[in-house]
């Protein structure tokens, strides 16, 4: 599978995706961001699927969670925090981590709340999936690990979390890599209806809004996730072993509650926690991200996502966009690990 990096090519996704970008992400144009080319350290070629495991997972109490995470690389190296999406897990980065570790980075890859070995410390803590909660989890993790500053990188839920960290805690983030760009949303924007074709792309969000959808996901979460993998990355020929390795993360006892709350919260159907209100108020205005950033997109991403030009103005610092060609879908780091790892190294050198 080709992983050619095309820095100038722009893929046009049609009116449905444009509508999703406008309504889901609320992206006014902001001038002044700088285009930058990094001085690169070229990574060795690695075929996706070369690695199949991490070293023994670690656990640490951080905030309201006992966080499970993988770690690679030297303990004294500059730190990279890699954040996975839904319905995926830390194995999205199983080929990325060795590349970064060999380049001298300390790589931290946590399971988000509701995934893998991450657990809530108290049965009384709300199983809350709102966007600010996931970002606060990651700041708590950095505090618990006594890490002051990181390059943060992610996709899907992880991309949104990385964006929020960069927007609200820029002092903790040296640089950002975000697949599908600017993913910070607001309940107010999400209340506005989209054209029918755009709504169709979010079918699972509306399914999850029903009790039937919650029960369906509870009973069929592995088959559900496999369907999302297939439709979000239609050219990715993953095998059952690869899928099953990640699907084990969805057996977390809080997984269904977190996923359902996440999507219902986006539509304003459920409340978040009051302690996150101040963060959500800041996020609702679409804050500009000022730290050095590389945004990325696969040329065969079948999931809803904005056109890169729609979020260009949300990054006011040194910036570059990369479209990765060769049939690369939604799970970009697992499908194109060399390109993703290269972006992390390059943005750190901006």
Each residue of 123-151: pLDDT tens digit? 999 999 999 999 999 999 999 999 999 99
Statement: residue 10 has pLDDT above 50: no
Peptide bond before 18: cis, by omega within 30 degrees of 0?
no
pTM of the shown model: 0.90
Compute the distance between CA of residue 38 and CA of residue 347 in angstroms, rounded to an integer: 7
Statement: residue 310 has pLDDT above 70: yes
Q: What are residue 106's DSSP bridge partners?
A: 79
136: closest CA among 315, 279, 262, 254? Answer: 279
User: How much is the pLDDT for 41?
Assistant: 81
Express each pLDDT in 239-296 by its tens digit.
Answer: 999 999 999 999 999 999 999 999 999 999 999 999 999 999 999 999 999 999 999 9
User: How much is the pLDDT for 40?
Assistant: 62
Express each pLDDT in 21-73 by its tens digit.
Answer: 443 444 433 334 444 444 568 888 888 999 999 998 999 999 999 999 999 99
Sign of CA pseudo-dihedral 308, 100, 83, 36: negative
- Whether the Cβ atoms of residue 132 and residue 100 lie closer than 8 Å to each other: no
For the CA atoms of 44, 47, 49, 51, what is the dihedral angle to 10 degrees?
-30
Peptide bond before 111: cis, by omega within 30 degrees of 0?
no
Quote the percentage of the chain above a pLDDT of 90. Answer: 83
Statement: residue 322 has pLDDT above 70: yes
Q: Which residue has the tokens 């929020």?
A: 164
The number of beta carbons lying within 10 Å of the beta carbon of residue 64 is: 17
Compute the distance between CA of residue 253 and CA of residue 258 in angstroms, rounded to an integer: 10
Statement: residue 206 has pLDDT above 90: yes
């Amino acid at each position: 599978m080709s992983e050619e990096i095309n820095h100038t090519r722009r893929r046009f996704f049609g009116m449905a995706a444009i509508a999703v970008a406008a309504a889901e992400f609320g992206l006014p144009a902001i001038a002044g961001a700088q285009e930058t080319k990094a001085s690169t350290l070229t990574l060795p070629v690695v075929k996706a699927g070369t690695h199949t495991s991490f070293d023994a997972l670690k656990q640490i109490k951080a905030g309201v969670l006992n966080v499970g995470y993988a770690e690679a690389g030297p303990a004294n190296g500059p730190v990279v925090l890699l954040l996975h999406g839904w319905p995926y897990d830390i194995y999205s980065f199983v080929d990325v981590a060795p590349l970064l570790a060999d380049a001298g980075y300390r790589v931290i890859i946590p399971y988000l709340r509701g995934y893998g070995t991450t657990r809530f410390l108290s049965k009384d803590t709300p199983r809350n999936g709102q966007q600010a909660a996931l970002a606060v989890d990651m700041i708590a993790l950095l505090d618990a690990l006594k890490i002051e500053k990181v390059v943060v990188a992610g996709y899907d839920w992880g991309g949104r979390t990385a964006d929020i960290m960069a927007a609200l805690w820029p002092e903790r983030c040296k640089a950002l890599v975000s697949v599908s760009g600017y993913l910070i949303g607001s309940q107010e924007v999400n209340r506005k209806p989209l054209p029918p074709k755009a709504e169709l792309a979010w079918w699972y969000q509306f399914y999850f809004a029903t009790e039937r959808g919650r029960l369906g996901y509870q009973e069929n979460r592995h088959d559900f996730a496999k369907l999302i993998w297939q439709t979000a990355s239609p050219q990715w020929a993953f095998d059952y072993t690869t899928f099953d390795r990640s699907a084990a993360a969805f057996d977390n006892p809080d997984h269904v509650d977190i996923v359902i709350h996440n999507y219902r919260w986006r539509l304003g159907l459920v409340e978040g926690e009051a302690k996150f209100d101040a963060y959500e108020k800041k996020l609702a205005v679409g804050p500009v991200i000022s730290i050095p950033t590389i945004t990325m997109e696969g040329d065969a991403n079948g999931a809803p996502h904005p056109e890169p030009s729609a979020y260009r103005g949300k990054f006011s610092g040194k910036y570059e966009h990369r479209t990765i060609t060769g049939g690369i879908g939604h799970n970009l780091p697992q499908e194109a690990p060399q390109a993703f790892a290269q972006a992390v190294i390059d943005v750190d050198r901006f």
